[in-house]
Structure 1
Amino acid sequence: MMNNPAPHASDAYDETTDFGYRTVSRDEKKPLVRAVFDSVASKYDVMNDVMSLGIHRVWKRIFITTLAPRPGLKLLDLAGGTGDISFGWLKGGGGATLLTDINAAMLSVGRDRATARGYLPDLTFCVVDAEAIPVPDASVDRVAIAFGLRNCTDKDAVLREALRVLRPGGRFCCLEFSHVQVAALAPVYDAWSFGVLPRMGSMIAKDSESYRYLAESIRMFPDQEMLASMMRDAGFAHVSYRNLSGGIAAIHSGWRI
Protein backbone atom coordinates (compact mmCIF):
# COMPACT_ATOMS: atom_id res chain seq x y z
CA MET A 1 0.00 0.00 0.00
CA MET A 2 1.27 3.51 -0.78
CA ASN A 3 2.17 5.11 2.52
CA ASN A 4 1.63 8.85 2.75
CA PRO A 5 1.71 10.83 5.97
CA ALA A 6 -1.81 11.64 7.13
CA PRO A 7 -2.31 15.19 8.34
CA HIS A 8 -2.21 15.91 12.04
CA ALA A 9 -4.74 18.09 13.79
CA SER A 10 -2.17 20.87 14.11
CA ASP A 11 -1.96 21.08 10.33
CA ALA A 12 -5.21 23.07 10.49
CA TYR A 13 -3.05 26.16 11.08
CA ASP A 14 -0.67 25.64 8.17
CA GLU A 15 -0.91 27.95 5.17
CA THR A 16 -0.89 24.96 2.82
CA THR A 17 -2.90 21.77 2.68
CA ASP A 18 -3.25 18.68 0.54
CA PHE A 19 -5.27 18.30 -2.62
CA GLY A 20 -4.66 14.63 -3.19
CA TYR A 21 -0.89 14.31 -3.43
CA ARG A 22 -0.47 17.97 -4.41
CA THR A 23 0.31 20.68 -1.88
CA VAL A 24 -1.83 23.77 -2.44
CA SER A 25 -2.59 26.92 -0.52
CA ARG A 26 -5.56 26.65 1.82
CA ASP A 27 -7.51 29.17 -0.26
CA GLU A 28 -7.06 27.05 -3.38
CA LYS A 29 -8.49 23.80 -2.05
CA LYS A 30 -12.19 24.60 -1.86
CA PRO A 31 -12.44 25.81 -5.48
CA LEU A 32 -10.47 22.75 -6.61
CA VAL A 33 -12.74 20.37 -4.68
CA ARG A 34 -15.81 22.19 -5.96
CA ALA A 35 -14.59 21.72 -9.52
CA VAL A 36 -14.14 17.97 -8.92
CA PHE A 37 -17.71 17.56 -7.74
CA ASP A 38 -19.14 19.88 -10.39
CA SER A 39 -17.53 17.52 -12.87
CA VAL A 40 -18.74 14.24 -11.38
CA ALA A 41 -22.13 15.25 -9.89
CA SER A 42 -24.31 13.68 -12.58
CA LYS A 43 -22.39 10.39 -12.43
CA TYR A 44 -21.58 10.42 -8.71
CA ASP A 45 -23.91 7.60 -7.68
CA VAL A 46 -22.81 5.39 -10.57
CA MET A 47 -19.19 6.03 -9.72
CA ASN A 48 -19.76 5.24 -6.04
CA ASP A 49 -20.82 1.80 -7.20
CA VAL A 50 -17.69 1.55 -9.33
CA MET A 51 -15.35 2.82 -6.58
CA SER A 52 -16.64 0.38 -3.98
CA LEU A 53 -17.98 -2.43 -6.21
CA GLY A 54 -21.39 -1.61 -4.74
CA ILE A 55 -20.29 -2.21 -1.15
CA HIS A 56 -20.88 1.46 -0.24
CA ARG A 57 -24.59 0.62 -0.09
CA VAL A 58 -23.96 -1.87 2.69
CA TRP A 59 -21.67 0.57 4.51
CA LYS A 60 -24.37 3.26 4.34
CA ARG A 61 -27.00 0.92 5.75
CA ILE A 62 -24.71 0.18 8.70
CA PHE A 63 -24.04 3.91 9.07
CA ILE A 64 -27.75 4.76 9.15
CA THR A 65 -28.32 2.05 11.75
CA THR A 66 -25.54 3.67 13.81
CA LEU A 67 -27.35 7.02 13.57
CA ALA A 68 -30.43 5.28 15.09
CA PRO A 69 -33.24 7.24 13.40
CA ARG A 70 -36.28 8.17 15.50
CA PRO A 71 -39.20 10.48 14.67
CA GLY A 72 -38.34 13.12 17.27
CA LEU A 73 -34.69 13.47 16.27
CA LYS A 74 -33.35 16.12 13.87
CA LEU A 75 -30.52 15.26 11.48
CA LEU A 76 -27.95 17.59 9.95
CA ASP A 77 -26.46 15.80 6.94
CA LEU A 78 -23.16 17.49 6.05
CA ALA A 79 -21.70 17.02 2.57
CA GLY A 80 -24.93 15.12 1.93
CA GLY A 81 -24.68 15.53 -1.83
CA THR A 82 -27.07 13.26 -3.64
CA GLY A 83 -28.99 12.36 -0.50
CA ASP A 84 -28.35 8.70 0.35
CA ILE A 85 -27.88 9.28 4.08
CA SER A 86 -30.82 11.65 4.43
CA PHE A 87 -33.07 9.27 2.52
CA GLY A 88 -31.98 6.33 4.64
CA TRP A 89 -32.58 8.37 7.81
CA LEU A 90 -36.11 9.26 6.72
CA LYS A 91 -36.86 5.73 5.53
CA GLY A 92 -35.73 4.47 8.94
CA GLY A 93 -38.19 6.74 10.73
CA GLY A 94 -35.96 9.72 11.46
CA GLY A 95 -37.30 13.24 11.98
CA ALA A 96 -36.67 16.60 10.33
CA THR A 97 -33.63 16.59 8.09
CA LEU A 98 -31.35 19.34 6.83
CA LEU A 99 -29.51 18.11 3.73
CA THR A 100 -26.47 20.26 3.03
CA ASP A 101 -23.49 20.37 0.71
CA ILE A 102 -20.96 23.00 -0.29
CA ASN A 103 -21.51 22.02 -3.92
CA ALA A 104 -24.75 23.26 -5.48
CA ALA A 105 -24.52 20.80 -8.39
CA MET A 106 -24.44 17.82 -6.03
CA LEU A 107 -27.32 19.26 -4.01
CA SER A 108 -29.36 19.72 -7.19
CA VAL A 109 -28.98 16.01 -7.95
CA GLY A 110 -30.05 15.27 -4.37
CA ARG A 111 -33.16 17.42 -4.73
CA ASP A 112 -34.14 15.65 -7.97
CA ARG A 113 -33.70 12.27 -6.29
CA ALA A 114 -35.70 13.39 -3.25
CA THR A 115 -38.54 14.55 -5.50
CA ALA A 116 -38.61 11.22 -7.32
CA ARG A 117 -38.72 9.31 -4.02
CA GLY A 118 -41.32 11.47 -2.33
CA TYR A 119 -38.95 12.76 0.38
CA LEU A 120 -39.08 16.43 -0.56
CA PRO A 121 -41.63 17.49 2.13
CA ASP A 122 -39.37 16.13 4.90
CA LEU A 123 -36.14 17.78 3.74
CA THR A 124 -34.63 21.23 3.87
CA PHE A 125 -31.82 21.85 1.37
CA CYS A 126 -29.04 24.33 1.94
CA VAL A 127 -25.64 25.06 0.42
CA VAL A 128 -23.37 24.89 3.47
CA ASP A 129 -19.65 24.94 4.13
CA ALA A 130 -19.19 22.33 6.86
CA GLU A 131 -16.41 24.45 8.37
CA ALA A 132 -18.90 27.27 9.17
CA ILE A 133 -22.38 25.84 9.64
CA PRO A 134 -25.20 28.44 9.65
CA VAL A 135 -27.17 26.57 12.31
CA PRO A 136 -27.77 27.69 15.91
CA ASP A 137 -25.90 26.15 18.82
CA ALA A 138 -27.39 22.95 20.29
CA SER A 139 -30.12 22.69 17.64
CA VAL A 140 -29.80 19.18 16.15
CA ASP A 141 -29.70 15.65 17.54
CA ARG A 142 -27.49 13.98 14.95
CA VAL A 143 -24.75 15.24 12.66
CA ALA A 144 -23.72 12.92 9.84
CA ILE A 145 -21.00 13.25 7.23
CA ALA A 146 -20.42 10.41 4.77
CA PHE A 147 -17.48 10.43 2.37
CA GLY A 148 -17.14 14.19 2.77
CA LEU A 149 -14.76 14.97 5.62
CA ARG A 150 -11.65 14.09 3.62
CA ASN A 151 -12.53 16.80 1.10
CA CYS A 152 -12.73 19.53 3.73
CA THR A 153 -9.78 21.90 4.10
CA ASP A 154 -10.00 22.37 7.88
CA LYS A 155 -11.20 19.07 9.31
CA ASP A 156 -10.76 20.28 12.88
CA ALA A 157 -13.13 23.19 12.19
CA VAL A 158 -15.73 20.74 10.86
CA LEU A 159 -15.49 18.69 14.04
CA ARG A 160 -15.78 21.76 16.25
CA GLU A 161 -18.80 22.98 14.31
CA ALA A 162 -20.45 19.55 14.52
CA LEU A 163 -20.04 19.58 18.29
CA ARG A 164 -21.37 23.13 18.55
CA VAL A 165 -24.65 22.45 16.72
CA LEU A 166 -25.39 19.21 18.58
CA ARG A 167 -27.72 19.21 21.54
CA PRO A 168 -26.35 17.65 24.75
CA GLY A 169 -26.77 13.92 24.28
CA GLY A 170 -26.45 14.32 20.51
CA ARG A 171 -24.22 12.17 18.33
CA PHE A 172 -21.79 12.85 15.49
CA CYS A 173 -21.12 10.04 13.01
CA CYS A 174 -18.61 10.02 10.17
CA LEU A 175 -18.43 7.39 7.43
CA GLU A 176 -15.25 7.69 5.41
CA PHE A 177 -12.76 5.71 3.40
CA SER A 178 -9.96 4.88 5.81
CA HIS A 179 -6.72 2.92 6.11
CA VAL A 180 -6.71 -0.78 5.24
CA GLN A 181 -5.98 -2.97 8.26
CA VAL A 182 -5.58 -6.27 6.40
CA ALA A 183 -2.15 -6.51 4.77
CA ALA A 184 -3.29 -8.88 2.04
CA LEU A 185 -5.84 -6.33 0.82
CA ALA A 186 -3.38 -3.47 0.43
CA PRO A 187 -1.79 -4.28 -2.96
CA VAL A 188 -5.15 -5.17 -4.50
CA TYR A 189 -6.69 -1.98 -3.15
CA ASP A 190 -3.82 0.14 -4.51
CA ALA A 191 -4.05 -1.48 -7.93
CA TRP A 192 -7.80 -0.81 -8.01
CA SER A 193 -7.53 2.77 -6.76
CA PHE A 194 -4.68 3.99 -8.95
CA GLY A 195 -4.97 1.66 -11.95
CA VAL A 196 -8.59 0.76 -12.59
CA LEU A 197 -10.49 3.63 -10.98
CA PRO A 198 -9.11 6.54 -13.07
CA ARG A 199 -9.75 4.54 -16.25
CA MET A 200 -13.33 3.84 -15.14
CA GLY A 201 -13.73 7.53 -14.33
CA SER A 202 -12.62 8.37 -17.85
CA MET A 203 -15.06 5.89 -19.36
CA ILE A 204 -18.11 6.65 -17.23
CA ALA A 205 -17.72 10.28 -16.16
CA LYS A 206 -15.30 11.41 -18.91
CA ASP A 207 -13.00 12.56 -16.13
CA SER A 208 -10.04 10.50 -15.00
CA GLU A 209 -8.28 13.26 -13.04
CA SER A 210 -11.16 13.82 -10.61
CA TYR A 211 -11.17 10.16 -9.74
CA ARG A 212 -7.42 10.12 -9.38
CA TYR A 213 -7.85 12.94 -6.86
CA LEU A 214 -10.51 10.97 -5.00
CA ALA A 215 -8.17 7.98 -4.71
CA GLU A 216 -5.30 10.20 -3.54
CA SER A 217 -7.52 12.02 -1.03
CA ILE A 218 -8.31 8.70 0.65
CA ARG A 219 -4.61 8.01 1.19
CA MET A 220 -4.07 11.49 2.66
CA PHE A 221 -6.93 11.21 5.13
CA PRO A 222 -6.10 10.65 8.82
CA ASP A 223 -6.06 7.01 9.87
CA GLN A 224 -8.59 5.57 12.30
CA GLU A 225 -6.71 6.37 15.50
CA MET A 226 -5.73 9.86 14.41
CA LEU A 227 -9.29 10.81 13.46
CA ALA A 228 -10.51 9.47 16.80
CA SER A 229 -7.89 11.64 18.53
CA MET A 230 -8.98 14.70 16.52
CA MET A 231 -12.58 14.10 17.61
CA ARG A 232 -11.56 13.92 21.27
CA ASP A 233 -9.54 17.12 20.86
CA ALA A 234 -12.64 18.80 19.42
CA GLY A 235 -14.56 17.89 22.59
CA PHE A 236 -16.44 14.73 21.70
CA ALA A 237 -16.92 12.08 24.39
CA HIS A 238 -17.15 8.30 24.14
CA VAL A 239 -15.37 8.37 20.76
CA SER A 240 -15.23 5.03 18.97
CA TYR A 241 -14.81 3.65 15.49
CA ARG A 242 -15.77 0.56 13.55
CA ASN A 243 -13.78 -0.75 10.61
CA LEU A 244 -15.70 -1.89 7.56
CA SER A 245 -14.34 -4.29 4.94
CA GLY A 246 -10.97 -4.60 6.61
CA GLY A 247 -10.58 -0.86 7.14
CA ILE A 248 -11.30 0.22 3.57
CA ALA A 249 -13.93 2.35 5.26
CA ALA A 250 -14.66 3.17 8.89
CA ILE A 251 -17.47 4.67 10.94
CA HIS A 252 -16.37 7.09 13.67
CA SER A 253 -18.78 8.13 16.39
CA GLY A 254 -18.68 10.67 19.20
CA TRP A 255 -21.17 12.23 21.61
CA ARG A 256 -21.78 15.69 22.97
CA ILE A 257 -22.21 15.35 26.72
Structure 2
Amino acid sequence: MAQTSRHAAKHPAKHAGGDRDPESRWFGYRSVDPSEKTSLVHGVFASVATRYDIMNDLMSGGIHRVWKARFIDQIRPRPGEFLLDVAGGTGDIAFRFLDRAGGEARAAVCDLTEDMVRVGRDRAIDGGRMRGLDFLVGNAEALPIADRSADVYTIAFGLRNVTHIDAALAEARRVLKPGGRFFCLEFSRVVLPVLSRLYDLYSFNVIPRLGQMVAHDRDSYQYLVESIRQFPPQEELAARMEAAGLARAGLRNLTGGIAAIHCGWRV
Protein backbone atom coordinates (compact mmCIF):
# COMPACT_ATOMS: atom_id res chain seq x y z
CA MET A 1 0.00 0.00 0.00
CA ALA A 2 1.33 3.44 -0.87
CA GLN A 3 2.78 5.46 1.99
CA THR A 4 0.57 8.35 3.10
CA SER A 5 2.70 11.47 3.47
CA ARG A 6 3.16 13.03 6.90
CA HIS A 7 2.56 16.41 5.29
CA ALA A 8 -0.89 15.26 4.18
CA ALA A 9 -1.66 14.04 7.70
CA LYS A 10 -1.30 17.61 8.97
CA HIS A 11 -3.36 19.14 6.19
CA PRO A 12 -6.61 17.23 5.61
CA ALA A 13 -8.27 17.61 2.25
CA LYS A 14 -11.29 19.89 2.08
CA HIS A 15 -14.60 18.63 0.74
CA ALA A 16 -16.15 20.70 -2.01
CA GLY A 17 -19.49 22.08 -0.89
CA GLY A 18 -22.58 20.47 -2.33
CA ASP A 19 -20.85 17.39 -3.73
CA ARG A 20 -22.66 14.08 -3.41
CA ASP A 21 -20.66 11.57 -1.38
CA PRO A 22 -17.48 13.71 -1.40
CA GLU A 23 -15.82 11.07 0.80
CA SER A 24 -15.88 8.66 -2.16
CA ARG A 25 -12.85 10.46 -3.59
CA TRP A 26 -10.72 10.24 -0.46
CA PHE A 27 -8.78 7.28 0.88
CA GLY A 28 -7.73 8.91 4.09
CA TYR A 29 -6.14 12.17 2.90
CA ARG A 30 -5.13 10.65 -0.43
CA SER A 31 -7.21 11.54 -3.49
CA VAL A 32 -8.34 8.45 -5.43
CA ASP A 33 -10.72 7.48 -8.19
CA PRO A 34 -13.94 6.36 -6.44
CA SER A 35 -13.83 3.14 -8.46
CA GLU A 36 -10.60 2.23 -6.64
CA LYS A 37 -11.63 3.00 -3.08
CA THR A 38 -13.46 -0.22 -2.25
CA SER A 39 -10.48 -2.37 -3.26
CA LEU A 40 -8.13 -0.14 -1.25
CA VAL A 41 -10.32 -0.48 1.85
CA HIS A 42 -10.47 -4.24 1.26
CA GLY A 43 -6.68 -4.27 1.26
CA VAL A 44 -6.50 -2.47 4.60
CA PHE A 45 -8.73 -4.96 6.39
CA ALA A 46 -7.23 -8.00 4.70
CA SER A 47 -3.90 -6.81 6.08
CA VAL A 48 -5.03 -6.18 9.66
CA ALA A 49 -7.67 -8.92 10.13
CA THR A 50 -5.67 -11.24 12.40
CA ARG A 51 -4.60 -8.35 14.64
CA TYR A 52 -7.82 -6.36 14.46
CA ASP A 53 -9.18 -7.19 17.92
CA ILE A 54 -5.94 -6.73 19.83
CA MET A 55 -5.30 -3.43 18.04
CA ASN A 56 -8.76 -2.17 19.02
CA ASP A 57 -7.96 -2.85 22.67
CA LEU A 58 -4.53 -1.22 22.45
CA MET A 59 -5.64 1.85 20.48
CA SER A 60 -8.62 2.64 22.70
CA GLY A 61 -7.36 1.38 26.03
CA GLY A 62 -10.39 -0.91 26.03
CA ILE A 63 -12.87 1.98 25.75
CA HIS A 64 -14.31 0.50 22.55
CA ARG A 65 -15.80 -2.23 24.72
CA VAL A 66 -17.66 0.37 26.80
CA TRP A 67 -18.93 2.06 23.61
CA LYS A 68 -20.15 -1.28 22.24
CA ALA A 69 -21.91 -2.06 25.52
CA ARG A 70 -23.74 1.29 25.32
CA PHE A 71 -24.53 0.58 21.68
CA ILE A 72 -26.20 -2.71 22.63
CA ASP A 73 -28.01 -1.00 25.52
CA GLN A 74 -29.51 1.48 23.05
CA ILE A 75 -30.50 -1.27 20.60
CA ARG A 76 -32.27 -3.25 23.32
CA PRO A 77 -32.22 -6.62 21.49
CA ARG A 78 -35.41 -8.63 21.73
CA PRO A 79 -36.20 -12.35 21.45
CA GLY A 80 -36.95 -13.48 17.92
CA GLU A 81 -35.37 -10.48 16.16
CA PHE A 82 -33.12 -10.81 13.13
CA LEU A 83 -30.03 -8.61 13.16
CA LEU A 84 -27.99 -7.73 10.09
CA ASP A 85 -24.57 -6.52 11.26
CA VAL A 86 -22.80 -4.85 8.33
CA ALA A 87 -19.03 -4.43 8.31
CA GLY A 88 -19.37 -6.82 11.23
CA GLY A 89 -15.75 -7.89 11.13
CA THR A 90 -14.87 -10.28 13.90
CA GLY A 91 -18.39 -10.61 15.27
CA ASP A 92 -18.36 -8.40 18.39
CA ILE A 93 -21.73 -6.74 17.83
CA ALA A 94 -23.52 -9.88 16.66
CA PHE A 95 -22.24 -11.88 19.65
CA ARG A 96 -23.40 -9.20 22.08
CA PHE A 97 -26.78 -8.87 20.34
CA LEU A 98 -27.51 -12.61 20.51
CA ASP A 99 -26.35 -12.84 24.13
CA ARG A 100 -28.73 -10.05 25.09
CA ALA A 101 -31.71 -11.03 22.91
CA GLY A 102 -31.95 -14.67 23.89
CA GLY A 103 -34.96 -16.56 22.59
CA GLU A 104 -34.84 -17.43 18.91
CA ALA A 105 -32.97 -14.31 17.82
CA ARG A 106 -30.79 -14.61 14.73
CA ALA A 107 -27.92 -12.58 13.32
CA ALA A 108 -25.99 -12.34 10.07
CA VAL A 109 -22.55 -10.74 9.96
CA CYS A 110 -21.78 -9.26 6.55
CA ASP A 111 -18.32 -7.88 5.80
CA LEU A 112 -16.54 -6.74 2.65
CA THR A 113 -13.37 -8.65 3.51
CA GLU A 114 -13.27 -12.43 3.55
CA ASP A 115 -10.27 -12.38 5.90
CA MET A 116 -12.32 -10.53 8.52
CA VAL A 117 -15.26 -12.89 8.05
CA ARG A 118 -12.94 -15.86 8.50
CA VAL A 119 -11.63 -14.49 11.81
CA GLY A 120 -15.18 -13.83 13.04
CA ARG A 121 -16.41 -17.27 12.02
CA ASP A 122 -13.43 -18.93 13.73
CA ARG A 123 -14.19 -16.97 16.91
CA ALA A 124 -17.82 -18.11 16.77
CA ILE A 125 -16.87 -21.75 16.25
CA ASP A 126 -14.24 -21.68 19.01
CA GLY A 127 -16.72 -20.06 21.40
CA GLY A 128 -19.62 -22.37 20.52
CA ARG A 129 -21.62 -19.38 19.20
CA MET A 130 -22.77 -20.56 15.77
CA ARG A 131 -26.40 -21.13 16.78
CA GLY A 132 -28.56 -18.59 14.96
CA LEU A 133 -25.52 -16.94 13.37
CA ASP A 134 -24.46 -16.65 9.72
CA PHE A 135 -21.42 -15.04 8.12
CA LEU A 136 -21.57 -13.43 4.67
CA VAL A 137 -19.12 -11.63 2.41
CA GLY A 138 -20.71 -8.57 0.85
CA ASN A 139 -20.55 -4.84 0.19
CA ALA A 140 -22.62 -2.42 2.30
CA GLU A 141 -23.69 -0.72 -0.95
CA ALA A 142 -25.18 -3.93 -2.41
CA LEU A 143 -26.10 -6.29 0.40
CA PRO A 144 -26.78 -10.00 -0.27
CA ILE A 145 -29.97 -9.76 1.80
CA ALA A 146 -33.63 -9.71 0.73
CA ASP A 147 -35.80 -6.60 0.91
CA ARG A 148 -37.57 -5.96 4.22
CA SER A 149 -35.94 -8.90 5.99
CA ALA A 150 -34.09 -7.45 9.00
CA ASP A 151 -35.53 -6.17 12.26
CA VAL A 152 -32.30 -4.41 13.18
CA TYR A 153 -29.41 -3.13 11.05
CA THR A 154 -26.11 -2.27 12.73
CA ILE A 155 -22.83 -0.96 11.40
CA ALA A 156 -20.05 -0.32 13.92
CA PHE A 157 -16.87 1.48 12.89
CA GLY A 158 -17.56 0.59 9.27
CA LEU A 159 -19.61 3.34 7.64
CA ARG A 160 -16.63 5.68 7.24
CA ASN A 161 -14.91 3.04 5.09
CA VAL A 162 -17.80 2.77 2.61
CA THR A 163 -17.18 4.40 -0.77
CA HIS A 164 -20.70 5.82 -1.18
CA ILE A 165 -22.28 6.46 2.22
CA ASP A 166 -25.65 7.50 0.78
CA ALA A 167 -25.86 4.22 -1.16
CA ALA A 168 -25.13 2.26 2.02
CA LEU A 169 -27.83 4.16 3.92
CA ALA A 170 -30.31 3.44 1.12
CA GLU A 171 -29.40 -0.26 1.29
CA ALA A 172 -29.97 -0.20 5.05
CA ARG A 173 -33.48 1.08 4.47
CA ARG A 174 -34.09 -1.51 1.73
CA VAL A 175 -33.23 -4.51 3.91
CA LEU A 176 -35.06 -3.29 7.02
CA LYS A 177 -38.65 -4.26 7.66
CA PRO A 178 -41.12 -1.39 8.06
CA GLY A 179 -40.56 -0.25 11.63
CA GLY A 180 -37.06 -1.76 11.57
CA ARG A 181 -34.30 0.04 13.39
CA PHE A 182 -30.98 1.39 12.09
CA PHE A 183 -27.99 1.88 14.41
CA CYS A 184 -24.53 3.17 13.54
CA LEU A 185 -21.59 3.37 15.95
CA GLU A 186 -18.77 5.40 14.44
CA PHE A 187 -15.86 7.66 15.23
CA SER A 188 -17.03 11.24 14.95
CA ARG A 189 -16.14 14.89 15.58
CA VAL A 190 -14.85 15.72 19.05
CA VAL A 191 -16.96 18.48 20.60
CA LEU A 192 -14.56 19.51 23.39
CA PRO A 193 -11.67 21.70 22.12
CA VAL A 194 -9.08 20.56 24.67
CA LEU A 195 -9.93 16.90 24.14
CA SER A 196 -9.81 17.43 20.36
CA ARG A 197 -6.20 18.63 20.49
CA LEU A 198 -5.11 15.76 22.73
CA TYR A 199 -6.97 13.25 20.56
CA ASP A 200 -5.26 14.53 17.39
CA LEU A 201 -1.83 14.30 19.02
CA TYR A 202 -2.54 10.74 20.15
CA SER A 203 -4.12 9.63 16.87
CA PHE A 204 -1.43 10.85 14.50
CA ASN A 205 1.58 10.13 16.69
CA VAL A 206 0.72 6.93 18.56
CA ILE A 207 -1.77 4.86 16.55
CA PRO A 208 0.33 4.44 13.36
CA ARG A 209 3.31 3.45 15.53
CA LEU A 210 1.19 0.86 17.34
CA GLY A 211 0.10 -0.43 13.94
CA GLN A 212 3.71 -0.83 12.92
CA MET A 213 4.74 -2.57 16.15
CA VAL A 214 1.75 -4.88 16.61
CA ALA A 215 0.23 -5.42 13.14
CA HIS A 216 3.42 -4.67 11.18
CA ASP A 217 1.38 -2.26 9.06
CA ARG A 218 1.79 1.46 9.71
CA ASP A 219 0.08 2.55 6.48
CA SER A 220 -3.25 0.88 7.25
CA TYR A 221 -3.47 2.54 10.65
CA GLN A 222 -2.44 5.89 9.19
CA TYR A 223 -5.41 5.47 6.83
CA LEU A 224 -7.73 4.59 9.72
CA VAL A 225 -6.74 7.76 11.61
CA GLU A 226 -7.24 9.91 8.52
CA SER A 227 -10.54 8.28 7.57
CA ILE A 228 -12.05 9.46 10.85
CA ARG A 229 -11.34 13.08 9.92
CA GLN A 230 -12.94 12.64 6.50
CA PHE A 231 -16.17 11.20 7.90
CA PRO A 232 -19.21 13.54 7.97
CA PRO A 233 -19.85 15.30 11.29
CA GLN A 234 -22.74 14.19 13.45
CA GLU A 235 -25.39 16.59 12.19
CA GLU A 236 -24.55 16.00 8.52
CA LEU A 237 -24.80 12.23 8.90
CA ALA A 238 -28.17 12.60 10.64
CA ALA A 239 -29.44 14.68 7.72
CA ARG A 240 -28.20 12.10 5.21
CA MET A 241 -29.94 9.34 7.14
CA GLU A 242 -33.22 11.26 6.94
CA ALA A 243 -32.70 11.82 3.19
CA ALA A 244 -32.22 8.06 2.75
CA GLY A 245 -35.56 7.33 4.44
CA LEU A 246 -34.24 6.52 7.92
CA ALA A 247 -36.63 8.68 9.87
CA ARG A 248 -36.41 10.29 13.31
CA ALA A 249 -32.64 10.28 13.12
CA GLY A 250 -31.07 10.70 16.52
CA LEU A 251 -27.52 10.78 17.83
CA ARG A 252 -25.66 10.33 21.08
CA ASN A 253 -22.06 11.44 21.57
CA LEU A 254 -19.68 9.16 23.45
CA THR A 255 -16.48 10.35 25.19
CA GLY A 256 -16.90 13.93 24.07
CA GLY A 257 -17.72 13.01 20.48
CA ILE A 258 -14.73 10.73 19.83
CA ALA A 259 -17.47 8.29 18.87
CA ALA A 260 -21.21 8.66 18.35
CA ILE A 261 -24.27 6.43 18.10
CA HIS A 262 -26.72 7.29 15.33
CA CYS A 263 -30.18 5.72 15.13
CA GLY A 264 -33.19 5.88 12.85
CA TRP A 265 -36.35 4.03 11.82
CA ARG A 266 -37.40 2.50 8.52
CA VAL A 267 -40.90 3.81 7.82
Match of residue 70, structure 1, among 48, 55, 78: 78
Match of residue 52, structure 1, among 60, 63, 66: 60
Structure-1 residue corresponding to 2:219: 209
TM-score relative to the length of structure 1: 0.95
Matched AA of 1:163: R
2:14 matched to 1:11?
Answer: no
Give the distance between the partners of 2:18 and 2:157, measured in 1 at CA: 19
Structure-1 residue corresponding to 2:154: 144
Matched AA of 1:207: D
TM-score relative to the length of structure 2: 0.92
Match of residue 100, structure 2, among 92, 109, 125: 92
Structure-1 residue corresponding to 2:167: 157
Contact 2:150–2:175 (Cα < 8 Å) also in 1? yes
Structure-2 residue corresponding to 1:252: 262
Match of residue 24, structure 1, among 7, 29, 32: 32
User: What whole-Å deviation, never above 9, does each CA across 1:197-219 have from its counterpart, x for those lacking one?
Assistant: 11111000001110000000000
Give the distance between the partners of 2:146 and 2:17, measured in 1 at CA: 28
Contact 1:7–1:222 (Cα < 8 Å) also in 2? no
Unaligned runs of 5+ in 1: none
Contact 1:6–1:219 (Cα < 8 Å) also in 2? no
Give the distance between the partners of 1:177 and 1:149, measured in 2 at CA: 9
User: What whole-Å deviation, never above 9, does each CA across 1:216-252 have from its counterpart, x for those lacking one?
Assistant: 0000000000000100110111110000000000000
Contact 2:208–2:218 (Cα < 8 Å) also in 1? yes
Q: Secondary structure at the match of 1:209?
A: helix
Structure-2 residue corresponding to 1:191: 201
Give the distance between the partners of 1:42 and 1:6, measured in 2 at CA: 33
Shift of 1:121: 2.1
2:114 matched to 1:104?
Answer: yes
Matched AA of 2:123: R
User: What whole-Å deviation, never above 9, does each CA across 1:1-34 have from its counterpart, x for those lacking one?
Assistant: 976546878423x796110001100111111111
Taking only aligned residues, the RMSD between alpha carbons, in angstroms, comes to 1.7
User: What whole-Å deviation, never above 9, does each CA across 1:55-95 have from its counterpart, x for those lacking one?
Assistant: 00000011111121111110000000000000000110251
Contact 1:74–1:142 (Cα < 8 Å) also in 2? yes
Structure-2 residue corresponding to 1:129: 139
Q: Secondary structure at the match of 1:11?
A: coil
Give the distance between the partners of 1:50 and 1:194, measured in 2 at CA: 15
Contact 2:169–2:244 (Cα < 8 Å) also in 1? yes
User: What whole-Å deviation, never above 9, does each CA across 1:87-136 have from its counterpart, x for those lacking one?
Assistant: 00011025111111010000000001111221112211110101001211
Alpha carbons of structure 1 residues 143 and 16: separation in structure 2 relative to 1, 3 Å: closer
Matched AA of 1:218: I
Matched AA of 2:70: I
What is the aligned length? Answer: 256
Matched AA of 2:232: P
Contact 1:224–1:250 (Cα < 8 Å) also in 2? yes
Structure-1 residue corresponding to 2:238: 228
Contact 1:74–1:96 (Cα < 8 Å) also in 2? yes
Give the distance between the partners of 2:204 and 2:136, measured in 1 at CA: 34
Contact 2:155–2:183 (Cα < 8 Å) also in 1? yes
Alpha carbons of structure 1 residues 45 and 16: separation in structure 2 relative to 1, 3 Å: closer
Percentage of matched positions with identical amino acids:
54
Structure-1 residue corresponding to 2:6: none
Segment of structure 1 superposing worse, 44-53 or 216-225: 44-53
